Every structure is written in C-alpha cells, then in structure tokens.
Amino acid sequence: MRSLTPADLNPAVQNVQYAVRGELAIKAEDLRAKLESKSHGLPFERIINSNIGNPQQKGLDQPPITFTRQIAALMEYPPLAEVVKDVWPSDVINRAKELQAEIGSVGAYSHSQGVPIIRRSVAQFIEERDGYPADPEDIFLTAGASSGVSLLLNMLITPNKTGVLIPIPQYPLYTAALAQFSGIPLPYHLSEVDGWSTSLDEIKSAVEKAEKDGVDARALVIINPGNPTGALLDWRTMENIVKLCEEHGLVLLADEVYQSNLHSPDTHPFHSFKQVVRRLHSKVPLFSFHSISKGVTGECGRRGGYFECTNIDPEVRALIYKMVSVGLCPPLSGQVGIDCMVRPPKPNDPSYPLWKNETDSTHAALASRTKLMAQRLNALPGISCVTSPGALYLFPKIELPDLAVQEAEKQGKTPDTLYALELLDQTGICVVPGSGFGQKDGEHHYRLTCLCPGVEDYVDALESFHLKFLKKYGAEV
Amino acid sequence: MRSLTPADLNPAVQNVQYAVRGELAIKAEDLRAKLESKSHGLPFERIINSNIGNPQQKGLDQPPITFTRQIAALMEYPPLAEVVKDVWPSDVINRAKELQAEIGSVGAYSHSQGVPIIRRSVAQFIEERDGYPADPEDIFLTAGASSGVSLLLNMLITPNKTGVLIPIPQYPLYTAALAQFSGIPLPYHLSEVDGWSTSLDEIKSAVEKAEKDGVDARALVIINPGNPTGALLDWRTMENIVKLCEEHGLVLLADEVYQSNLHSPDTHPFHSFKQVVRRLHSKVPLFSFHSISKGVTGECGRRGGYFECTNIDPEVRALIYKMVSVGLCPPLSGQVGIDCMVRPPKPNDPSYPLWKNETDSTHAALASRTKLMAQRLNALPGISCVTSPGALYLFPKIELPDLAVQEAEKQGKTPDTLYALELLDQTGICVVPGSGFGQKDGEHHYRLTCLCPGVEDYVDALESFHLKFLKKYGAEV
C-alpha cells in the first residue's frame, strides 16, 4: 500500500512558513500544558502570548465592547429582546432588530459577498473616513482580513511567474500565501534608522531586479500602519507609491487592518490609500483590507473583515464573487461584528457613553504601554527599539554576542530563535523571532505585542532575561 | 498604465465553476430585488431558493435548536447568565460556563486546530458513533466542511499532475477546488437506475484510465449520504471501497456532512468510513468531514465543521497544522456550534425535552417532504426521480423535448439550464441544473432541496410549470 508522507504532498506546501504560530508558539502550548501540574518546576506561573495580536485572549483580557456583544447575543437568540428590553440600551435592541429583519437567522448562509445592508454600512463608513464615495458592490466581507488576502493572492498569481513586492520586515501571511500559491516574493527593505519608513527607491530597485530576473512584478503589498513595525506612512510617500504603481503597472494591496490603532494621531495620522488614489484621480487597481480583529474591537475569534475594490474591472469583480461563492459565505458572527465596528453608537445614543469609555480606555492603555515598553527596552544595552506610533507591536533590534550566534549555529537555529526560546523558557513570554518577518543579514530582532497585562512586571522580566542572556554569552554588561 | 483584466489573472481561476451559486442564483437575487417594487409584474410573490441546502434562510425558516442558540448567546455576553439563570435551563448555563472557563472570550483566536475541549467532545462523539477510539489530536475544526476539503485538496494536489476520483454527479465544491488548485478530476459515474449506487467497477476503470493517461490517481472522494443524490452506501460496498483504496494507494476523502439526515434509518442506516477502516484493520489514509450546516442543526451561517485524520502520518498532520495556522483559527461561533452538535442534551437534562421535540420535528418534516416530492415528481410525464433515503436533496431526471434542446442550443445554454431558468422566471423557484453536478451526455437533471415551506403549493407549482414547458416545446402531454 502506498503511504502518504510529506514528500507525497504538493511541494508548495513544504515551503510555507508562518512564524507567528510556529516553533515558539507550539513550545509555548507545551509549556502551558506543563503548568497545569503543580510540580511543574518551571520558573514562571503563566505563559504570556506576546507572539500574536490577540487582545481578548485569556490572561490579556482586553474587554470586548459591550455594544458589540449585546447585539451579538440578540442575534443569536432573538427572543432575548423581550427579557432584556428594559435593561439593555434601546439602540442595541433596535440595531439587532434591524439586522434580523434584513438577515433573518445568523444560522443561514448569507450572500457570498456579505449581507447587503452590512456592505452598505461599510461603504458609508469609508465615505465618511475618506470624503469619497464607496459602492457596496465593491465591498467583500471576509473571514478576517487574512482570507481576503489569501484569496486575492491566489487569483493574482500565475504560479512560478508572478512576483509580488513585499516589505521586509513583513507580516508572514504574505510570504506564506506566496509560497502556497507559488508566487515569487520580491522583497523591499524598510528603513529602520528612519523609523521603519518606506523608501520609493527600495521598491523601484526591487521592481528593476524583478525585470532583470524575468519575473512579472504584478502587485505591491503595503502594510499601513506597519506590522511588525508600527510605522505610519505620510501622505507624500503614499502619493509617490500610487504613482509608482501607475508607472510599473502594479496592483496595490493595502493592508490597513491597524488603521484605528494610532498612538499619536496628531503627529502620525492614518490616511487610506483609497483616499490618496481618489485625490490623485488615479486608475491604479487597489484592494484595501480591514478587520475587526485589531483596533479596539479586538474580535479575532469572530473572523470578520472586508476588502474594498477600487478601480477594479467589473469582470474581475465577478470572478472574485465566483471564487468567494465556492466558500459559500463569511461567518455571520464576523459580519455582524463588522456592522458594529463601522456603525458604532453616535453621541446621543444610549449606548454611547459606555462605548466611548470602553474604547477610550483601550486606546489609552495601548498607547501608554507601547511608549513605556519602548522606553524601557531602549534603555537596555544591545537593544534599540523604534517607538511605534501605530498598530499593536514593537520590533526591537537586538545585538547578540558572538558566542550566542555560535551556539545558535550549533543548534541549527537562527540566533534570534535561540534568544526567543531562552526567553520563553525562563520567563514564559512568547515572542516571535525577527527571522519570521524578514530582516537584513546579520541583524536580529523580535516582535512582541503591546498587549500584556501588568506592564511593569512584564518589562522587568524582559530586562532581567536580556541582561542574563548577554552575560551567559560573554558580553560585557 | 497596465490594467487588471480577467486575462491577467491566474488561469486556474477561469476554470472554476460553482453552479450552486452560479447563473441561476444570481438571477434569483435580481428577481428578489425586483419583487421589492409593488409593480414588479412578476407572476410570483417570492423567490424560493431551492438551489442551496440552507435550512434557516428567510422564507424556509427551519428553526434553530434552542439549546444551541441559548449557549451561543451566553458565550457572546457572559453577564447574561445572571439575567436568565432562573429562566433558561441549568444545563445550558452550565455548558456555557464550562466552555467559557476553557475558551475565555469568543472574541479571541483559539488554537488553530480548534479549542482543545471541543476537539475532545468531537473525539468522544466519534467513539460513541463508531465504537473505535478517536484522538482529539486527529481532529481539525474548520470553517464549515468546505474549508477543510479545500485545504486538503490544495495539499494533496501537485499542480497538473495529481488526479482525484470524484463521483458524477458530485457536489461542485470538488470540481471547483480541483480547478482552483490545478488538480485533474477523474470522474466515476454513479448508477441512477440502481438508486444512485456506487459501482466498484466504475471507480476501477477511472483509475485504469488515469494510469493510461499518465495521471497520478491519488485520492478518492466519496459523498455519503450523497449530494446531490441522497443515496446511502451499504457496508459491503464501503468495505470494497476501502480495499480498492489499499490496492491503488488512494487517500480516501469521506464527505459525511449529511450523516444525520436519514429518512429511513432502518433500511438505509449510515456507517462512517472510519468505522469500516477500523473494522478492517486497514491502513488506508482517511480524512472524514462533518459539519453543523446540515443535519437538523442547519447552522450554515456559523461556519462550523471538522475533519478527522485516520491513518495519517504525524508529519503530514504537522503540515496540516502549519497550513491551518496561517488562517489563524476557525470562527469561534462555529466551534461552539460543533460542541452543541456533538454534545446535545442527555435524556435527564432539563434542555432535553425541547431539544428532542425540535430535532424530531425537523427530521420528520424533512423525511415526509422528501417522500411526497419524489412521489409527485415521479407521477409526471418525462420525470423520474430516485427517492432519496438521506441528505437534503432530490435529483430528478427530466426528458426534454427536442425543441427545447434546440432552443437551448440557440441560446448557448445547456438544456437543463434553459429548463431551470424558465422555472425560475415563471414560479420564483430556483434550482440548480444537473450540468452543474455532472451527468451522462444527453441526460438532463436538476437538483432541488427538500426544504421548502408549504410543500403542496410548492409541488403544484413545479408540476404546472413542467407540463407547460413540455407543451411549449411540442411534447405530447
């Protein structure tokens, strides 16, 4: 009988890498299981999953927004309205009724592109954000932003021919999807010394290299606010990127899932690529992604997101519809979550005061934690950390002693993986090595989320580990 | 500037077809929009979407199970427990608390393979069903069965080399995924005259043909209970299928999503392939799929499903884990739905009487509707319909007059598409032409769900349309 071994599988599968849930995350799960035994013998009492932007996970416990959850509960069990009608705010009850009248049961498949009324809400949200019209027919609701990215890359890539420009460092969904669909990654480096800024020249030389190598550079991925960097693009750079896409015939994929995670909106505001494209009257084909998993919503588990098509040929849009229809529809819980995100309570609504309080607290906690963590990390020998004005992460650079580099080599690991594994073993803190996102040769980083509870203790643990690590491998501290 | 036209896309995308949400479904949506105007001028007042197994959709309104929905509402908003504790059954409150203690928030990402406690529940359900052990590590929770099928086909297929045996007629997810991932479909015909039975000889000759054509036949898809046929495999046939897989080195993909939709369980019981494989001590690699979208749960919109790996190399399983981790996790609403499906109330639980009543009614309604529809269709000239003992569908064969075939040719459509379009135009009933599932040359069918409300009126409409259609195209009636 013929067996089924890894060698029998689609070779593209072997090439897929996704460090956010890779070796470190798997080891963290094993340690978490060990902690359940009283005599675990580990030097910590809990695992802190700083490897993934998952605000509501156990132990982090960023509270969900009450407005969203009350609506969700009513959607699940409509007779509940009678029970809570004098207790829950009237706008919550009304919103749930409005959605039920349109959707019917959340247990039914919806339109494959997403519930029409929710797509209309998304279009209105975009119009208000950008000052330019948006068409519900151009909106596709998805199971989180990832599934939209993955689908569109699959559609854009002719295997082993099509190249896609990706930032380095990048969120590894992009390299994973490129490997899965046999696309060719065309990396362009972000400039760490310049606050992880995006350089047009870097992108241009990546395009020119592709041309020389006979690769068809077809799409440009921009992550703004950046992941893992937290950087924000300024308007001028965005204009130049759009012009570069025009010049080189690139489709622009704008990953904007952190658009509401802004820690210094006055100095570092967010602009959407949709707005830039419209302001320039550009015809660049653009797909823009958003999600309920990040922001202050943090509803990762519902799997809700959307993408908007701008300047996309209706025939291409029809093909996208065909492809999403094979998967039937995105989860209704995510779709309802999208509605709550893009249509939050208004100042005079009964839900507004609580909603405002909850979202303000989450914004403030994230901004102050990010600032404090960056300050404390920067004060350490051998660490430099760009203070990120957006998103949920820091991506500190670590100088590792030669002995550590040699030890990593001996173990067949990258030096930053050695560092991250020892950090996990000694503190229970799980971060992702920089090699999972890409970095310049000889450099080392790690990504950590700024979602930890008790930030002082958390940074104490990072600090004391770092100093011990340097000592262990013979650095002068 | 370079445009983005269909010709610029991955050519595999062009080849994808998914008739369940194709031309007919799109036209039905257009007609539904028209119906909103008072002066619509259409000869019917509503669209009945018999094209898709979507029990809870508006107008069909198969009620969701109260037990499932109360738990879902509590998961969304845990403080609700205080409000309803004296009103809702205690087992509902306790189940929600148990799940919350393990999961935390449904707004957090779970383990990529699915929440461990829910995978344990699934394993126990399988053990009780089959009488053989099941390991939670072999269970992957998914966003409906479709996403599992799609992922595994992507992994099993080396583009343009790997062949996959699929039944004809088949559920078009299989041909769609094969087209998307450049796999080679190896069709084997089911025998309509024999109640849509599966013939070993048909499968063998498809394997032999593949060998002759230099195609690597790698996997065999079996849909049991059948979609669109509703047929059930008997034990002996299943044993022979497993042996055939051993002999030809085939991976078995068992689509068992209709396993609890049984209309005559005494004469046509369901056996899982897992049980057959274990009973035979076979080493055939098997993936078995199940879902909350069908059965009497009908929770399509939650997107919940799972697959079990049997005889799968741990290294292959690790690769599957890597691939699902890129998509982060299945929606929590679907995972919680799975828990409710595999761990329903027990006879002494307070929720049991209502649960029993609700599920019995849904089973009975489906069985009686299926029987009545098949009888009435069979009584018509030019229609013959296998009475299906399972699933949610009928797949009647229709003899079309020559003039209708010629008219279809003129319109550039298949004859069954012409029939289905006219049916939709005249009655508002949307079915899927048999060509979307595959059928023998010169034969014509359509698939309709047995989910309609008011079955007598519904069948009256089917009948009178059919007779008019025959007359219109010159058949003697």
- Assess B57–A contact: CB distance below 8 Å, yes or no: yes
Nearest CB to A331 within list B58, B107, B334: B334
Chain A positions in Cβ-Cβ contact with residue B302 (cut-off 8 Å): 106-107, 331-333
- CB contacts under 8 A, B 269-288 vs A, are 283-285
| pLDDT digits 0-9 by tens, A222-240 | 999 999 999 999 999 999 9
pLDDT above 80 (res A147): yes
- Assess A325–B contact: CB distance below 8 Å, yes or no: yes
What pLDDT shows up at residue A327?
85
pLDDT confidence tier of residue B426, bands split at 50, 70 and 90 = very high
- Tokens 């082993």 sit at which residue? A160
Three-class secondary structure of residue B132 per DSSP: coil
- Assess A208–B contact: CB distance below 8 Å, yes or no: no
Distance from CA of B344 to the nearest CA of A (A): 17
Beta carbons of B396 and B228 less than 8 angstroms apart: no
Chain B positions in Cβ-Cβ contact with residue A21 (cut-off 8 Å): 112, 325-326, 328
Express as a percent the part of chain A with pLDDT over 70.
100
Cα–Cα nearest to B121, from B325, B323, B352, B306: B306
- Segments in A51-104 forming alpha helices (H): 66-76, 80-84, 90-103
Q: Which residue of A has its CA nearest to B175?
A: A326
CB contact under 8 A, A326 and B77: no
The neighbour count for residue B145, using CB atoms within 10 Å, is 25
CB contact under 8 A, A301 and B18: no
Distance from CA of B233 to the nearest CA of A (A): 24
CB contact under 8 A, B329 and A69: no
Number of helical (H) and strand (E) elements in chain A, helices listed first = 17, 14
- Assess B315–A contact: CB distance below 8 Å, yes or no: yes
pLDDT confidence tier of residue A60, bands split at 50, 70 and 90 = confident
- Assess A120–B contact: CB distance below 8 Å, yes or no: no
What pLDDT shows up at residue A61?
72
| pLDDT digits 0-9 by tens, B276-332 | 999 999 999 999 999 999 988 999 999 999 999 999 999 999 999 999 998 889 999
Nearest CB to B4 within list A112, A147, A251: A251
Mean pLDDT of A142-152: 95
Distance from CA of A300 to the nearest CA of B (A): 5
Q: Which residue of B has its CA nearest to A282?
A: B1
- Assess A326–B contact: CB distance below 8 Å, yes or no: yes
Chain B positions in Cβ-Cβ contact with residue A177 (cut-off 8 Å): 326
Cα–Cα nearest to A101, from A118, A83, A126: A118
Do β-strands A251-255 and A286-291 pair in parallel, antiparallel, or remain unpaired?
parallel
pLDDT above 80 (res A141): yes
As a whole number of angstroms, the distance between CA B27 and CA B425 comes to 9
Distance from CA of A299 to the nearest CA of B (A): 4
CB contact under 8 A, A77 and B83: no
pLDDT above 90 (res B2): no
Q: Which of A299, A325, A338, A354 to mutate to test the interface with B (most CBs of B within 10 A)?
A: A325
Q: Please, what are the domains in chain B?
A: 6-62+357-470 (3.90.1150.10), 109-342 (3.40.640.10)
Q: Which residues contact A73 (CB under 8 A, 6 or more apart)?
A: A80, B73, B74, B76, B77, B80
Chain A positions in Cβ-Cβ contact with residue B162 (cut-off 8 Å): 10
What pLDDT shows up at residue B14?
87
What is the residue-averaged pLDDT of chain A?
94
- Assess A5–B contact: CB distance below 8 Å, yes or no: yes
- Assess B29–A contact: CB distance below 8 Å, yes or no: yes
What pLDDT shows up at residue B21?
74
CB contact under 8 A, A300 and B328: yes
Chain B positions in Cβ-Cβ contact with residue A56 (cut-off 8 Å): 104-105, 107-108
Q: Which residue of A has its CA nearest to B87?
A: A83
- Assess A56–B contact: CB distance below 8 Å, yes or no: yes
- Assess B33–A contact: CB distance below 8 Å, yes or no: no
Three-class secondary structure of residue A93 per DSSP: helix
Mean pLDDT of B428-443: 94
What pLDDT shows up at residue B291?
97
pLDDT above 80 (res A66): yes
| pLDDT digits 0-9 by tens, A268-322 | 999 999 999 999 999 999 999 999 999 889 999 999 999 999 999 999 999 999 9
- Across the A:B interface, residue pairs with CB atoms under 8 Å apart total 280
What pLDDT shows up at residue A334?
97
Mean pLDDT of B208-212: 96
Nearest CB to B11 within list A21, A108, A158: A158
CA distances for B192 relative to B169, B198, B387, angstroms: 10, 9, 11
CB contact under 8 A, A316 and B4: yes
What is the residue-averaged pLDDT of chain B?
94
pLDDT confidence tier of residue B17, bands split at 50, 70 and 90 = confident
pLDDT above 80 (res A69): yes
Mean pLDDT of A262-268: 92
pLDDT above 80 (res B216): yes
pLDDT confidence tier of residue A336, bands split at 50, 70 and 90 = very high
- Assess A107–B contact: CB distance below 8 Å, yes or no: yes
Mean pLDDT of A359-372: 93
Nearest CB to B73 within list A76, A156, A302: A76
- Assess A42–B contact: CB distance below 8 Å, yes or no: no
- Assess A211–B contact: CB distance below 8 Å, yes or no: no
Q: Which of B69, B147, B358 to mutate to test the interface with A (most CBs of A within 10 A)?
A: B69
Nearest CB to B108 within list A18, A20, A56: A56
Q: Which tokens belong to B351?
A: 């929720």
Q: Which residue of A has its CA nearest to B178?
A: A326
Q: What is the dihedral of CA A63, A67, A71, A74, to 10 degrees?
A: 80
Q: Which residue of B has its CA nearest to A314?
A: B5
What pLDDT shows up at residue B401?
93
Sign of the alpha-carbon torsion through A203, A204, A210, A214: positive
What pLDDT shows up at residue B22?
80
Q: Which of B17, B27, B109 to mutate to test the interface with A (most CBs of A within 10 A)?
A: B109
CA atoms in the 13 A half-sphere facing the CB of B298: 26
Residue A456 burial (CB < 10 Å; 0-12/13-18/19+)? exposed
pLDDT confidence tier of residue A398, bands split at 50, 70 and 90 = very high
pLDDT above 80 (res A96): yes
CB contact under 8 A, A333 and B302: yes
Q: Which residue of A has its CA nearest to B145?
A: A327
What pLDDT shows up at residue B350?
97
As a whole number of angstroms, the distance between CA B302 and CA A72 comes to 12
Distance from CA of B64 to the nearest CA of A (A): 7
CA distances for B42 relative to A142, A224, B432, angstroms: 34, 49, 21
CB contact under 8 A, A58 and B108: yes
